[in-house]
C-alpha cells in the first residue's frame, strides 16, 4: 500500500486510525537519541568526544547512510503491516458486532439466510450443470483439435442432413486426410456376457485401436489396444470401463488376463479405462450413432468382410484430430475429395459429401441454450431475493438510523458506519452461501437423477473446486448487492436531521417512496419474465402430451430380447423363438395379447429403405421399416384406419401395412388398400392395411414414414415382445420375464418397460426444463409477493399520523385505502408492463424450445398478468385493509 498511496494520504489514513505514526523523521529522531546516548556512554568510558561520535555511527555498520536508508525502509514496512493488521482486526470486530446484532433479530436473520441459501443453492446447482456440460472443455487432450467427420448422402439428406460414416469410406479417409493427425472410428455394440450368473447384455463400443491415443487417454490399468488387434481373428481382447470393473470385479487389479465369454467368444481383459473417461453416449456424436447410454466396455473394431464391403451402411462415428496449424476446412475438403473419387468409381452411389464439425460443437451444441436459459431464470430468482433482502435491511437500518446518527455524532467515521452495514450483509451472505452449498449438494443429486439422458456429459457433473470458487464469488457479489444500498444510506445519516424528534423530512419521505416503487417494480418485472417462460413451457408440454400417439400407453408392456447370434444361427430359429415366447406369454394370467416388433415407437429410426409405386416412378420416399407379427397392431393399440393386418395364413404372400403418412404421400385422396408398393426399388408388395401414424423419435417431430412388414419376411435378432393386459402393465413385468426365460433362459432380456415409460423418456428433456423453470418461477412469485407485502406494510408503518390527519380532514377510510392501493399497484402495473416487454424481447431465446406455441402467445401473457395482478392486489390489500380499521384517536396521538 505504501507504493500506491502518496505519503499525505497514508498519513491521513493513519490519523483516522488514531495511532501514533512513525514517519522517516520519527526514525531519525529515534536514531539521533541513540547516537547521543551511545556517545555519552563512550565518553564516560574515556573516549574523546569526536571518536565517540564516530564510533556510535560505526556501530550501525560500514556505511551510516545505507543503514539509515535501510531503517527508513523497514520503518515503512512496519507501518504497512501494522495498518493491515489493524484493518483486519477492526473488520473482525465489525463482523462480531454484526453477528451480535443479527443474533438479536433471529427471525430476520433466519429468514434472510434461508432465502439466500435457497437462491444461492439453486444457482450453484444450475451453474454447475452449465459449467460441466457447456463451459468445460471435453476431457481429452487438446480437445480444440478434435473434429467429427460425417457424410452427406444424396437421397437421404432430406431426412438426415448428415450421417455417420461408411466403413470403407472411413478407411479411405484415413489415407486421404493429411491435415489430420489421425482418424478413429466408433461403432455401437452390444455384448452379451455369459458364465457369470444370468446372461447379461452390456453396453459397449467397438473402437479403432488408435481411438484412445488419438483422444490422449490411457488405460489406468493394463494397456491400450495394439494395431494388429484391429484384424479379424485377433480382436479377442476387451478394455473395461472403470464403472464396470468396480461393479463386476470389485476393482480387482488381477482382472487383467481374465477371459470373459462375450457374444460366445473368449475375450481377454487387457485394460481398464480411468474413471474420468467417457465417450459421448447416445446420439451425442451425431444422429444415428446411438451409442448405449452406459458404456461398460470397449472392443477393438476389426471390420468384418461384410462391414468393409457393405455400401449402404452408415454406422461409424468418426473422430479426427487436426494437425497443429491445419484448418477444419482443409480436412473437410480432403475428405470431400475422397468422397468424390468414390462417387466416380461407383456409379450407383448417387452423390456423397463430407461434413466436419468440431467435436465440442457436436457434443455440446444443442444442450447449451436450455441450460443457459435455466441459469438466467435462477439468476433472476436470486436477484429478486437480493432486492428483497436489500429492502428489508434498509427498513431495519431505518429503525436503527438513530443509533447510526449517535455514532456519527460521537465521531465514528461515515466510512466505518457504511462498512458496518456492508459487513452485516456479507455475514448474512456468507451464512446463505455455506447453507446454500449444502442445499446444492442435495439438489445436485436430485437434478442429475431428473435430468434427461439426452443431456450430454451428465456423468461428469459434480460439485468441485471450480464450482465451489464460483459459489464463493457469488457470495461476495450477493453480499455487496444486498449491502450496498443500506451501507450508502447509513453513511448518509445526518446526525442533526436524524436526532431531531421524529426525524422525517418531506424530501426523505419522497425518496423512500420512490425507492419502494423501484423495489416493487423490479421484482414484478423479473417475476413476469419468469412466469411467462414457465407458462410457455407448460403449454408446450401440454401440447406435446396432446399429440396423437398412435399407440396405447396404459395397458402395454414391452420386453426387449437379444437373441445370441451363436446359438440362433438361422432366421428360422429366430422365428421359432418368437413362437415359443409368444405362446408362453399368452398363457400368463392377465395377458390378453402378445406380439413382436423389430422396433418400438419413439425408440428411434432403424432400417431405412426407399419405397415407391410401380405406376409412378417419380414418387419415391425414404421409409422406416418395422417387422411385426400379425397381432402387433391390436396389441400395441395402433388403430388400423382401413384394411386389416396380415395373418399367419398369409405366409408366403408379399403383404404390407403402411402408415397413414405413407398412404397420403403415395396415393393422396385415393384408397391405399390393394395398391402395389415397391421396396428398395425391386420387391413389390401389396398394401393390406393403413395404420395410424406413430412417431419414431419423439412426440415433437413429424410422424414416421412407416412400413410394417410381417416378421417372417426378415426376422430380427433384436426385437421387442409387446404384451397387452387389461390391468396395470407394470404388474406383468416379472411374470413376462419368467415366461421369456421358459422360452429360452439363455436369451438376455435387457429391459422391460411399460409404454408409458417409453413415452416418458422422450418427454424427459421437456419435463426437466418445465420442472426447473416452473420451480424457479414459483420461487420468484412467492418471494415477490412477500416482498410487495413487506414493502407496503413498511411504507404504512411510519405513516399512521399522515393517514390520521387525512381522515381528520375529511377523508373516508376507503379514500385512504384507495391511496395505499394506488401507491402499491402503480409500480406493480409498471413492473408488469416492463416484464411483458422484456419477455417479448427475450422470446427469441426460447423460440426453439417451444412446441405448438409462439413466444408472444397472448393467452400466456394474459394469464401471467392475471396471476401477478391478483397476487399484487392481495399483497397490497392486506396492509391497506388494516389502515381502514385503525382508530382515528390512536392514529393522531403523539408517539
Partner 1 sequence: MPDALAVVKGTLDVLVLRALGWGPMHGFQVAAWLESRSGGALALDDSGLYQSLYRLEGRGLIAAEWGLTENNRKARYYRLTPSGRAQLKRETASWLRYAQAVTQILTAPAEA
User: Among residues 17, 23, 38, 718, which is the contact residue for partner 1, using CB under 8 A?
Assistant: 38
Q: Quick one: 39 or 662, whose CB is closer to partner 1?
A: 39
Q: Is the dihedral of CA 708, 709, 712, 715 positive or negative?
A: negative
3 contacts partner 1 (rule: CB under 8 A): no
Closest distance of CB 24 from partner 1, Å: 12
The cell for 516 is 419502494
252 contacts partner 1 (rule: CB under 8 A): no
Q: Quick one: 41 or 48, whose CB is closer to partner 1?
A: 41
Residues 82-101 that bind partner 1 (CB under 8 A): 82, 85
Q: Quick one: 56 or 846, whose CB is closer to partner 1?
A: 56
Number of residues that bind partner 1 (CB under 8 A): 27
54 contacts partner 1 (rule: CB under 8 A): no
Can you tell me the distance from the alpha carbon of 459 to that of 461, in angstroms, rounded to the nearest whole number? 6
Q: Is the dihedral of CA 881, 885, 890, 893 positive or negative?
A: positive
Q: Is the dihedral of CA 75, 78, 83, 86 positive or negative?
A: negative
Closest distance of CB 38 from partner 1, Å: 6
User: Among residues 5, 15, 77, 866, which is the contact residue for partner 1, using CB under 8 A?
Assistant: 77
41 contacts partner 1 (rule: CB under 8 A): yes
User: Among residues 9, 36, 154, 566, which is the contact residue for partner 1, using CB under 8 A?
Assistant: 36
Q: Which of 72-80, 259-267, 472-480, 816-824 is the region at the interface with partner 1 (rule: CB under 8 A)?
A: 72-80
Q: Which of 64-72, 331-339, 392-400, 691-699 is the region at the interface with partner 1 (rule: CB under 8 A)?
A: 64-72
Q: Quick one: 38 or 402, whose CB is closer to partner 1?
A: 38
Closest distance of CB 80 from partner 1, Å: 8
Number of residues assigned to the chain = 895
Q: Which of 75-83, 168-176, 398-406, 706-714 is the region at the interface with partner 1 (rule: CB under 8 A)?
A: 75-83
Q: Quick one: 67 or 152, whose CB is closer to partner 1?
A: 67
Closest distance of CB 34 from partner 1, Å: 5
34 contacts partner 1 (rule: CB under 8 A): yes
- What region, left, alpha or beta, does residue 844 occupy, with left being phi > 0 and alpha being psi -120 to 50 degrees? alpha
Which H helix or E strand runs over 193? strand 180-194
**How far from chain centre, in Å, is Cα 622?**
35
Q: Quick one: 54 or 782, whose CB is closer to partner 1?
A: 54
**How far from chain centre, in Å, is Cα 591?**
41
71 contacts partner 1 (rule: CB under 8 A): yes
Can you tell me the distance from the alpha carbon of 80 to that of 86, in angstroms, rounded to the nearest whole number? 10
User: Among residues 1, 12, 15, 70, which is the contact residue for partner 1, using CB under 8 A?
Assistant: 70
Three-point CA angle 866, 867, 871, nearest 5°? 115
Residues 364-393 that bind partner 1 (CB under 8 A): none
731 contacts partner 1 (rule: CB under 8 A): no
Q: Quick one: 42 or 237, whose CB is closer to partner 1?
A: 42
Closest distance of CB 59 from partner 1, Å: 5
Beta-carbon contacts of residue 464 (< 8 Å; ≥ 6 apart): none
Q: Which of 58-66, 239-247, 375-383, 561-569 is the region at the interface with partner 1 (rule: CB under 8 A)?
A: 58-66
2 contacts partner 1 (rule: CB under 8 A): no
Closest distance of CB 66 from partner 1, Å: 9
Burial class, 82, CB count within 10 angstroms (exposed 0-12 / middle 13-18 / buried 19+): middle
- What region, left, alpha or beta, does residue 142 occupy, with left being phi > 0 and alpha being psi -120 to 50 degrees? left
* 612 strand-pairing partners: 620, 678
The DSSP secondary-structure symbol of 676 reads E
User: Among residues 1, 15, 16, 33, which is the contact residue for partner 1, using CB under 8 A?
Assistant: 33
Q: What are phi and psi of 640, to 5 degrees?
A: -90, 120
DSSP string for 534-600: HHHHHHHHHHHHHS--SS-SSSEEEEEEE--TTT--SHHHHHHHHHHHHHHHHTSTT--EEEEESS-
59 contacts partner 1 (rule: CB under 8 A): yes
29 contacts partner 1 (rule: CB under 8 A): yes
Q: Which of 19-27, 267-275, 287-295, 790-798 is the region at the interface with partner 1 (rule: CB under 8 A)?
A: 19-27
Can you tell me the distance from the alpha carbon of 419 to that of 25, in angstroms, rounded to the nearest whole number? 33
Q: Quick one: 22 or 805, whose CB is closer to partner 1?
A: 22
Closest distance of CB 28 from partner 1, Å: 12
Residues 271 and 221: beta-carbon distance below 8 Å? yes
Residues 190 and 294: beta-carbon distance below 8 Å? no
651 contacts partner 1 (rule: CB under 8 A): no
616 contacts partner 1 (rule: CB under 8 A): no
26 contacts partner 1 (rule: CB under 8 A): yes
**Buried-state track 620-650, b at ≥16 Cβ within 10 A, e below 16:** bbebbbbbbbbbbbbbbbbeeeebebbeeee
Closest distance of CB 95 from partner 1, Å: 19
583 contacts partner 1 (rule: CB under 8 A): no
74 contacts partner 1 (rule: CB under 8 A): yes
Closest distance of CB 40 from partner 1, Å: 10
Closest distance of CB 76 from partner 1, Å: 9
Can you tell me the distance from the alpha carbon of 426 to that of 476, in angstroms, rounded to the nearest whole number? 7
User: Among residues 61, 155, 312, 511, which is the contact residue for partner 1, using CB under 8 A?
Assistant: 61
* 689 strand-pairing partners: 643, 657
Closest distance of CB 25 from partner 1, Å: 12
60 contacts partner 1 (rule: CB under 8 A): yes
Q: Quick one: 80 or 329, whose CB is closer to partner 1?
A: 80
Contacts of range 437-440, beta carbons closer than 8 Å, 24 or more positions apart: 437/121, 437/124, 437/463, 437/468, 437/471, 438/117, 438/121, 439/117, 439/118, 439/120, 439/121, 439/122, 439/124, 440/120, 440/121, 440/122, 440/124, 440/125, 440/128, 440/471
User: Among residues 20, 46, 652, 669, which is the contact residue for partner 1, using CB under 8 A?
Assistant: 20
15 contacts partner 1 (rule: CB under 8 A): no
Residues 621 and 609: beta-carbon distance below 8 Å? no
Using alpha carbons, select from 417, 722, 713 the residue that is nearest to residue 555.
722
Can you tell me the distance from the alpha carbon of 784 to that of 427, in angstroms, rounded to the nearest whole number? 23
Q: Which of 36-44, 415-423, 685-693, 786-794 is the region at the interface with partner 1 (rule: CB under 8 A)?
A: 36-44
893 contacts partner 1 (rule: CB under 8 A): no
User: Among residues 9, 16, 49, 78, which is the contact residue for partner 1, using CB under 8 A?
Assistant: 78
Q: CA distances (Å), 502 to each of 114, 206, 402, 492, in order? A: 34, 81, 10, 17
Q: Which of 31-39, 46-54, 189-197, 520-528 is the region at the interface with partner 1 (rule: CB under 8 A)?
A: 31-39
Q: Quick one: 34 or 234, whose CB is closer to partner 1?
A: 34
141 contacts partner 1 (rule: CB under 8 A): no
Q: Is the dihedral of CA 494, 497, 499, 503 positive or negative?
A: negative
Q: Quick one: 41 or 734, whose CB is closer to partner 1?
A: 41
Can you tell me the distance from the alpha carbon of 848 to that of 194, in angstroms, rounded to the nearest whole number? 46
User: Among residues 9, 30, 96, 232, which is the contact residue for partner 1, using CB under 8 A?
Assistant: 30
DSSP string for 335-353: HHHHHHHHHHH-GGG--EE
Using alpha carbons, select from 438, 538, 522 the residue that is nearest to residue 481.
522
674 contacts partner 1 (rule: CB under 8 A): no
Closest distance of CB 58 from partner 1, Å: 9
Give me the residues that bind partner 1 (CB under 8 A), please: 20, 22, 26, 29-31, 33-34, 36-38, 41, 59-61, 67, 70-71, 74-75, 77-82, 85
Amino acid at each position: 500500500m505504501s507504493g500506491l498511496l502518496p505519503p499525505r494520504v497514508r498519513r491521513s489514513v493513519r490519523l483516522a486510525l488514531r495511532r501514533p505514526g512513525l514517519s522517516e523523521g520519527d526514525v531519525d529522531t529515534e536514531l539521533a537519541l541513540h547516537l547521543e546516548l551511545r556517545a555519552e556512554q563512550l565518553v564516560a568510558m574515556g573516549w574523546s568526544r569526536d571518536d565517540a561520535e564516530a564510533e556510535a555511527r560505526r556501530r550501525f555498520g560500514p556505511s551510516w547512510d545505507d543503514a539509515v536508508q535501510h531503517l527508513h525502509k523497514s520503518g515503512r514496512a512496519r507501518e504497512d503491516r501494522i495498518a493491515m493488521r489493524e484493518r483486519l482486526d477492526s473488520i473482525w470486530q465489525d463482523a462480531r458486532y454484526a453477528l451480535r446484532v443479527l443474533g438479536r433479530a433471529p427471525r430476520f436473520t433466519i429468514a434472510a439466510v434461508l432465502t439466500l441459501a435457497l437462491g444461492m443453492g439453486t444457482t450453484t446447482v444450475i451453474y454447475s450443470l452449465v459449467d460441466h456440460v457447456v463451459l468445460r472443455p471435453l476431457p481429452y487432450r487438446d480437445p480444440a483439435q478434435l473434429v467429427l467427420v460425417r457424410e452427406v448422402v444424396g437421397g437421404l439428406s432430406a431426412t438426415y442432413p448428415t450421417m455417420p460414416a461408411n466403413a470403407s469410406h472411413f478407411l479411405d479417409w484415413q489415407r486421404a486426410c493429411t491435415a489430420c493427425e489421425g482418424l478413429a472410428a466408433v461403432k455401437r455394440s452390444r455384448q452379451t456376457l455369459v458364465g457369470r450368473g444370468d446372461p447379461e447384455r452390456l453396453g459397449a463400443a467397438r473402437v479403432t485401436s488408435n481411438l484412445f491415443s488419438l483422444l490422449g487417454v490411457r488405460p489406468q490399468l493394463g494397456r491400450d489396444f495394439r494395431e494388429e488387434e484391429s484384424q479379424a481373428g485377433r480382436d479377442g481382447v476387451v478394455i473395461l470401463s472403470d464403472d464396470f470393473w468396480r461393479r463386476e470385479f470389485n476393482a480387482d487389479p488381477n482382472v487383467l488376463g481374465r477371459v470373459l465369454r462375450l457374444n460366445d467368444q473368449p475375450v481377454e481383459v487387457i485394460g481398464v479405462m480411468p474413471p474420468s473417461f467417457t465417450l459421448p453416449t447416445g446420439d451425442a456424436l451425431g444422429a444415428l450413432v446411438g451409442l448405449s447410454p452406459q458404456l461398460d466396455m470397449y472392443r477393438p473394431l476389426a471390420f468384418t468382410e461384410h462391414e468393409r464391403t457393405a455400401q449402404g451402411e452408415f454406422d461409424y462415428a468418426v473422430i479426427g484430430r487436426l494437425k497443429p496449424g491445419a484448418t477444419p476446412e482443409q480436412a473437410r475438403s480432403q475428405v470431400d475429395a475422397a468422397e468424390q473419387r468414390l462417387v466416380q468409381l461407383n456409379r450407383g452411389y448417387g452423390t456423397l459429401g463430407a461434413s466436419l464439425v468440431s467435436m465440442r460443437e457436436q457434443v455440446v451444441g444443442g444442450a447449451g441454450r436450455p441450460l443457459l436459459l435455466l441459469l438466467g431464470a435462477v439468476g433472476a430468482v436470486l436477484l429478486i431475493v437480493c432486492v428483497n433482502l436489500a429492502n428489508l435491511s434498509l427498513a431495519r437500518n431505518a429503525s436503527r438510523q438513530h443509533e447510526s446518527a449517535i455514532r456519527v455524532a460521537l465521531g465514528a467515521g461515515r466510512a466505518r458506519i457504511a462498512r458496518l452495514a456492508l459487513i452485516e450483509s456479507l455475514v448474512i451472505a456468507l451464512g446463505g452461501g455455506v447453507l446454500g452449498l449444502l442445499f446444492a449438494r442435495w439438489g445436485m443429486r436430485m437434478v442429475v437423477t431428473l435430468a434427461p439422458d439426452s443431456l450430454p456429459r451428465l456423468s461428469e457433473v459434480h460439485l468441485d473446486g471450480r464450482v465451489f470458487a464460483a459459489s464463493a464469488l457469488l457470495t461476495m457479489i450477493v453480499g455487496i448487492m444486498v449491502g450496498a444500498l443500506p451501507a450508502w444510506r447509513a453513511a448518509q445519516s445526518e446526525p442533526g436531521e436524524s436526532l431531531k424528534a421524529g426525524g422525517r423530512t418531506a424530501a426523505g419521505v419522497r425518496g423512500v417512496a420512490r425507492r419502494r416503487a423501484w423495489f416493487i417494480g423490479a421484482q414484478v418485472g423479473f417475476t413476469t419474465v419468469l412466469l411467462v417462460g414457465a407458462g410457455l413451457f407448460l403449454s408446450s408440454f401440454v401440447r406435446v402430451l396432446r399429440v396423437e400417439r398412435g399407440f396405447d400407453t396404459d395397458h402395454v408392456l414391452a420386453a426387449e430380447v437379444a437373441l445370441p447370434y451363436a446359438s440362433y444361427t438361422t432366421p428360422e430359429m429366430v422365428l421359432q423363438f418368437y413362437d415359443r415366447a409368444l405362446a408362453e406369454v399368452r398363457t400368463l394370467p392377465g395377458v390378453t395379447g402378445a406380439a413382436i416388433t423389430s422396433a418400438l415407437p419413439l425408440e428411434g429410426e432403424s432400417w431405412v429403405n426407399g419405397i415407391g409405386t410401380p405406376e409412378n416412378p417419380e414418387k419415391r420416399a425414404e421409409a422406416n421399416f418395422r417387422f411385426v407379427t400379425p397381432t402387433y397392431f391390436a396389441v400395441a393399440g395402433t388403430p388400423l384406419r382401413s384394411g386389416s393386418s396380415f395373418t399367419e395364413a398369409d405366409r408366403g404372400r408379399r403383404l404390407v401395412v403402411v402408415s397413414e403418412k405413407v398412404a397420403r404421400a403415395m396415393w393422396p385422396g385415393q384408397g391405399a388398400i390393394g395398391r402395389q408398393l415397391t421396396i428398395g426399388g425391386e420387391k413389390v408388395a401389396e398394401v393390406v392395411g393403413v395404420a395410424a401414424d406413430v412417431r419414431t423419435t419423439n412426440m415433437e417431430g413429424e410422424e414416421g414414414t412407416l412400413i410394417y412388414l410381417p416378421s417372417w419376411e426378415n426376422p430380427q435378432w433384436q426385437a421387442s415382445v409387446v404384451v397387452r393386459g387389461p390391468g396395470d402393465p407394470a404388474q406383468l413385468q416379472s411374470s413376462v420375464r419368467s415366461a421369456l426365460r421358459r422360452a429360452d433362459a439363455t436369451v438376455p432380456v435387457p429391459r422391460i418397460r411399460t409404454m408409458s415409460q417409453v413415452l416418458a423418456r422422450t418427454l424427459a428433456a421437456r419435463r426437466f426444463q418445465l420442472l426447473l423453470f416452473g420451480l424457479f418461477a414459483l420461487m420468484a412469485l412467492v418471494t415477490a409477493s412477500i416482498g410487495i407485502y413487506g414493502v407496503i406494510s413498511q411504507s404504512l408503518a411510519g405513516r399512521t399520523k399522515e393517514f390520521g390527519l387525512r381522515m381528520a380532514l375529511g377523508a373516508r377510510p376507503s379514500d385512504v385505502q384507495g391511496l395505499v392501493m394506488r401507491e402499491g399497484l402503480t409500480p406493480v402495473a409498471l413492473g408488469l408492463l416492463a416484464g411483458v416487454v422484456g419477455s417479448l424481447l427475450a422470446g427469441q431465446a426460447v423460440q426453439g424450445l417451444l412446441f405448438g406455441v409462439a413466444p408472444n402467445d397472448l393467452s400466456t401473457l394474459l394469464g401471467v398478468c392475471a396471476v401477478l395482478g391478483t397476487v399484487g392486489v392481495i399483497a397490497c390489500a392486506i396492509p391497506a385493509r388494516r389502515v381502514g380499521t385503525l382508530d382515528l384517536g390512536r392514529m393522531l396521538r403523539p408517539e
